[in-house]
């Protein structure tokens, strides 16, 4: 065969008949490699852990400010300082994908069919190197051959490993209408649904705490400004009182009239500022205790009736296709480089 080499490329062009002849001559190798790749795909599809998906959907809740609040904020801005009052802006997909929310999910106790008591995700995925009280016999077999690495791993390393798994299990989509969809994949449909439904109160709790913290800082700022303005108002009122006592007849003195008008103007301005701050203080106290959910749940998570992954047919077809291309590529390159 070495004396009759087939030229696949002639005059810088691929000869399709020669290419087909090369593939046909090497058909046994191609079939063998393709069969091995397909077998690997079948084994992977059969051994891959089935995952079930649960989905929740929610809308960001609209925050409406009352007319009185907007007017008071405008008045405060006119006097040259910011008294807040606006709700902080939350991007829900960022909160869902945050380490904070995922860490809460990791250490939450979940009811599993494989364990006789609730376990967190580190225990459920056996990241800590122990099977605990798993009821699955496969886990007992794994425990016999597992090395004793539990003492060598810190909690932070276990948590980081769990986060890496959870990052691939949670996906968030935000539609043009504002609809936010959260998909969660887990080994058990009940845990996937429970985890999806736990996501909503976790988001609400985080946003409410953040809002209340901002409202508390706003109230404390207003309190400090109240003290400062009250002291300034008292000083100007005392100054105006002393001026009037010392200058009972000022009609004949334009300078004294101007001085009194200046003092009266300062008293009036500080009075208006103090009244505005007092109103804002009452509104800030209301904001501090207000617990308005940042999102409104539309669809709750339900246990899936069938697995979402792995898609076995698709996996086998992909491995078959890749194996076929790979084997044909080997045959072609062998023919080219042997010339």
DSSP state, residue 150:
G
User: What residue numbers bound the domain in which 219 lies?
Assistant: 52-299
What is d(CA 146, CA 38) in angstroms, rounded to the nearest whole number? 30
Query: Are residue 269 and residue 324 in the same domain, yes or no?
Result: no
Helices 16-25, 27-47: axis angle to 10 degrees equals: 70
| Among candidate residues 192, 184, 188, 189, the one with its CA nearest the CA of residue 96 | 184
Task: Give residue for tokens 């007849």.
Answer: 249
| Among candidate residues 210, 176, 202, 208, the one with its CA nearest the CA of residue 96 | 202
> What pLDDT shows up at residue 170?
92
Query: Are residue 43 and residue 121 in the same domain, yes or no?
Result: no
Query: Are residue 197 and residue 320 in the same domain, yes or no?
Result: no
CA 127, 128, 132, 134: dihedral to nearest 10 degrees? 10
Residue 136 lies in a domain: yes
Query: Are residue 167 and residue 281 in the same domain, yes or no?
Result: yes
What is d(CA 111, CA 129) in angstroms, rounded to the nearest whole number? 20
> What pLDDT shows up at residue 293?
75
Residue 2 lies in a domain: no
> What pLDDT shows up at residue 74?
52
What is d(CA 124, CA 106) in angstroms, rounded to the nearest whole number? 10
Query: Are residue 61 and residue 44 in the same domain, yes or no?
Result: no
What is d(CA 297, CA 50) in angstroms, rounded to the nearest whole number? 28
| Angle made by CA atoms 133, 122, 50, in degrees to the nearest 5 | 85
Q: Indicate the length of the chain as a whole number.
A: 339
Query: Are residue 271 and residue 327 in the same domain, yes or no?
Result: no
Grouped pLDDT means (10 residues each) for the chain, 339 residues: 55 68 81 88 80 90 50 50 53 89 92 89 81 45 48 72 91 89 92 91 87 86 90 88 82 81 88 89 81 81 83 84 87 73
Q: Is the peptide bond before 33 cis (omega within 30 degrees of 0)?
A: no
> What pLDDT shows up at residue 297?
85
Number of domains in the chain: 2
> What pLDDT shows up at residue 81?
47
Task: Indicate the pairing of strand 52-60 with strand 13-14.
Answer: unpaired
Q: What is the pTM of this model?
A: 0.61
Residue 14 lies in a domain: yes
Compute φ and ψ for 40, nearest 5 degrees: -60, -40
Q: What is the CA radius of gyration of the chain?
A: 36
Query: Are residue 164 and residue 62 in the same domain, yes or no?
Result: yes
Here the tokens at position 59 are 């809308």
What is d(CA 236, CA 218) in angstroms, rounded to the nearest whole number? 27
């Amino acid at each position: 065969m070495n004396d009759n080499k087939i030229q696949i490329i002639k005059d810088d062009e691929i000869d399709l008949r020669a290419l087909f002849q090369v593939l046909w001559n090497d058909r046994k190798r191609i079939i063998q490699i393709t069969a091995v790749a397909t077998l690997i795909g079948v084994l992977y599809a059969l051994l891959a852990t089935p995952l079930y998906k649960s989905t929740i959907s929610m809308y960001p809740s609209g925050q409406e400010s009352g007319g009185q609040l907007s007017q008071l904020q405008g008045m405060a801005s006119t006097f040259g300082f910011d008294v807040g009052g606006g709700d902080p802006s939350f991007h829900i997909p960022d909160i869902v994908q945050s380490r904070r929310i995922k860490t809460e999910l990791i250490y939450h106790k979940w009811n599993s069919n494989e364990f006789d008591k609730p376990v967190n995700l580190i225990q459920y995925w056996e990241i800590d190197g122990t099977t605990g009280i798993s009821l699955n016999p496969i886990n007992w077999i794994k425990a016999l051959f597992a090395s004793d690495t539990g003492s060598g791993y810190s909690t932070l390393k276990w948590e980081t490993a769990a986060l890496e798994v959870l990052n691939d299990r949670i996906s968030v989509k935000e539609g043009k209408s504002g609809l936010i969809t959260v998909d969660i994949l887990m080994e058990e449909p009940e845990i996937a649904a429970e985890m999806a439904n736990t996501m909503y109160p976790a988001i609400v709790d985080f946003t409410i705490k953040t809002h209340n913290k901002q409202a508390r800082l706003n109230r404390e700022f207003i309190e400090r400004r109240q003290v400062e303005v009250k002291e300034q108002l008292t000083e100007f009122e005392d100054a105006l009182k002393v001026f009037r006592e010392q200058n009972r007849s000022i009609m004949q003195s334009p300078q004294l009239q101007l001085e009194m008008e200046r003092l009266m103007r300062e008293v009036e301005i500080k009075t208006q500022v103090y009244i505005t701050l007092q109103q804002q203080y009452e509104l800030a106290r209301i904001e501090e205790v207000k617990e308005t959910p940042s999102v409104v749940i539309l669809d709750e998570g339900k246990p899936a009736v069938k697995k979402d992954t792995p898609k076995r047919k698709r996996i086998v077809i992909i491995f078959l296709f890749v194996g076929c291309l790979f084997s044909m590529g080997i045959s072609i390159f062998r023919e080219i480089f042997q010339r």
